[in-house]
Amino acid sequence: MSGEDGDLALTFSEAIEKTPSSLYDGQALSETFTQWFNDPLRVEGAEHTALELLDGILAESDNAATLGHKCLDAKEVEIIAELPGGQTYLKNRGADILKDPAYAGLNDPVNQAHLFQIVYDSKICMAGGVPFRDAALARKLFPGASSKKH
């Protein structure tokens, strides 16, 4: 309770105390999820970690498509939050999570710049040390060089 995430434990226990069934219907976890996003440093740290992971995937990949180009829909957000046993603690909250800047925003300017760099890198291929958005053009200008999708 006194640790850096003690507010989460308090939110969870208060939800159960207020409504005991919230332990079983996912409501206590849903309230705890909301509380997690109330700490900007926690959010920014998690965003930074996720961006570093994406950077690593992009650096190790010969194909930027491994990052994916599909946006999650509301149902997929809810499915990601499914616990073993099938309990989905974000049931019926997927659409709100996708629309609410508290969950979908990227507020830290350094993290924003990092994300934009990852997006840029995922759309280019390198040939002869020159970045190209069109792999066919890169092959025409540098036929002997191997083009690597970044």
52 in the same domain as 6:
no
Q: Can you give the pLDDT at residue 90?
A: 92
The domain of 11 spans 1-36
Confidence check: pLDDT of 1 > 70: no
Query: What's the pLDDT at 149?
Result: 54
* 51 close to 108: Cβ distance less than 8 angstroms: no
H/E stretch holding 148 reads: strand 148-149
Span 38-95, pLDDT tens digits: 999 999 999 999 999 988 888 777 555 556 667 889 999 999 989 888 888 899 999 9
Tell me the H-state helices in 1-150.
6-18, 22-25, 27-36, 40-60, 74-80, 94-99, 101-104, 109-122, 135-141
- Domain total in the chain: 2
User: For 29-47, what is each residue's pLDDT tens digit?
Assistant: 999 999 999 999 999 999 9
Same domain, yes or no: 51 and 86:
yes
Q: Please report the pLDDT score of residue 65 as a whole number.
A: 53
Lowest mean pLDDT among 51-55, 96-100, 144-148: 144-148
For residues 92 and 20, membership in a common domain is answered with no
Residue 14: band (very low, low, confident or very high) from pLDDT cuts 50, 70, 90: very high
- Residues 141 and 87 grouped into a single domain: yes
For residue 148, what pLDDT is reported? 55
User: 29 and 43 share a domain?
Assistant: no
Transcribe 72-106 into DSSP letters. --HHHHHHHTBPTTS-BTTTTTHHHHHH-HHHH--
